[in-house]
């Protein structure tokens, strides 16, 4: 098993460190960011726990051929997954290759588990009612009784932390010079044990009689508005539409847009969409050399043409000037 523990002060670096996921994280709330990412990856399972101090929106695609779950361990604000309202009594589900939009509140702490699709299907088929569970898993947000979810979360966290604390040589089955790390079969056996216990824990939760398998939570109009505005803004960032233009395109009032962003993202549409574009500039700066891309050109690519205003907004959001952002080769 591959184990890693990392801390970051930049949400883009954090997102890039999550293995196998094609996604971008954008910091929405202003101020210095602190995050941690603990990962454990076996042949057929990837488990990671992430904590992020600031509000973040995640946009991307789940790994193909996988079945993905996430369980919040701490929620301190409004949270939306695929347009559905969620809380600390929810679990999140994504199928491999599915596009997603996830609004993560400040201080979010979440455990995510990704299974190989064939492994999960095989385990699901062995349950008493696989058809009912497959129907339930079409929902991106599943509400679960709080007591039962707490038991499952504690069990999964204990398994994860125990495996993460294991000596990497022991968990991989590799032997050191003295040969004291064990036989070469230990690693695969430990992997299979962890995979099976993780699968059992989640499937027991989903098949528990207290779990309503007929729930059909719908996406909210407010989430649709925020996500649509987000996508319209990044689809042509250099000519990003104003809030008034977005209202005209969506044929809704400014008040409706304002209320939607307050409810879903806990901020105004102007601040949210500006933050998304500022994150785009930051990703471009971090991915290029200063000699290859000037700060002004990166800003223009995301619709910022008044450099003094841009620099002030950038510093307010990230706690540093654009010129202080780490570039390749520095």
d(CA 59, CA 23): 6
Percent of the chain past pLDDT 70, that is, above it, reads: 93
Give the pLDDT band of residue 75 (cuts 50, 70, 90).
Answer: confident
Question: Could you report the per-residue pLDDT of 220-230, keeping only the tens digit for each?
Answer: 999 999 999 99
User: Which residue is it, tokens 């307050």?
Assistant: 262
Question: Could you report the per-residue pLDDT of 236-293, keeping only the tens digit for each?
Answer: 999 999 999 999 999 999 999 999 999 999 999 999 999 999 999 999 999 999 999 9
Give the pLDDT band of residue 74 (cuts 50, 70, 90).
Answer: confident
Question: Could you report the per-residue pLDDT of 164-198, keeping only the tens digit for each?
Answer: 988 665 544 433 333 333 333 457 788 888 899 99
Q: In sequence order, what are the residues at sequence separation of 6 or more whose Cβ sits closer than 8 angstroms to the Cβ of residue 237? A: 277, 280, 301, 302, 303
Structural domains of the chain, ranges and CATH numbers in brackets = 2-170+184-207 (2.60.120.10), 221-324 (1.10.10.60)
Percent of the chain past pLDDT 90, that is, above it, reads: 82
Question: Could you report the per-residue pLDDT of 86-128, keeping only the tens digit for each?
Answer: 998 999 999 999 999 999 999 999 999 999 999 999 999 999 8
DSSP string, 11-49: HHHHHHHSTT-EEEEEE-S-S---EEEEEEE-SSEEEEE
What global pTM score does this model have?
0.90
Q: In sequence order, what are the residues at sequence separation of 6 or more whose Cβ sits closer than 8 angstroms to the Cβ of residue 39? A: 2, 3, 4, 5, 17, 18, 19, 46, 47, 48
Angle at 79 between CA 74 and CA 80, to 5 degrees: 140
Residue 329 confidence (pLDDT): 73
Q: Which two tokens stand for residue 149?
A: 């979810």
| Residues forming a β-bridge with 7 | 36
């Amino acid at each position: 098993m591959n184990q890693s523990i990392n801390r970051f002060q930049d949400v883009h670096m954090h997102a890039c460190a999550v293995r196998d996921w094609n996604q971008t994280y954008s910091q929405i709330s202003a101020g210095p960011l602190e995050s941690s990412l603990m990962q454990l990856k076996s042949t057929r399972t990837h488990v990671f726990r992430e904590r992020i101090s600031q509000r973040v929106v995640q946009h991307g695609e789940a790994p193909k051929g996988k079945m993905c779950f996430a369980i919040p361990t701490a929620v301190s604000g409004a949270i939306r997954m695929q347009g559905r309202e969620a809380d600390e009594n929810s679990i999140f589900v994504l199928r491999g290759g599915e596009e997603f939009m996830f609004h993560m509140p400040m201080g979010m702490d979440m455990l995510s588990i990704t299974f190989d699709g064939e492994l999960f299907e095989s385990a699901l088929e062995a349950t008493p009612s696989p058809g009912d569970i497959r129907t339930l898993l079409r929902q991106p947000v599943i509400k679960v009784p709080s007591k039962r979810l707490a038991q499952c979360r504690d069990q999964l966290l204990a398994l994860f932390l125990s495996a993460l604390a294991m000596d990497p040589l022991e968990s991989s089955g590799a032997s050191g010079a003295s040969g004291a790390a064990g036989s070469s079969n230990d690693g695969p056996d430990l992997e299979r044990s962890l995979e099976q216990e993780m699968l059992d824990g989640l499937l027991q939760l989903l098949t528990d009689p207290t779990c309503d398998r007929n729930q059909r939570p719908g996406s909210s109009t407010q989430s649709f508005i925020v996500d649509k505005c987000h996508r319209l803004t990044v689809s042509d960032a250099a000519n990003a539409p104003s809030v008034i233009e977005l209202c005209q395109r969506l044929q809704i009032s400014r008040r409706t847009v304002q209320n939607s962003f307050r409810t879903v993202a806990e901020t105004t549409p102007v601040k949210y969409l500006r933050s998304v574009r500022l994150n785009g500039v930051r990703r471009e700066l971090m991915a290029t050399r200063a000699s290859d891309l000037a700060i002004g050109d990166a800003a223009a690519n995301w619709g910022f043409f008044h450099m003094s205003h841009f620099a002030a907004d950038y510093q307010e959001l990230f706690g540093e000037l654009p010129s202080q952002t780490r570039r390749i080769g520095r």
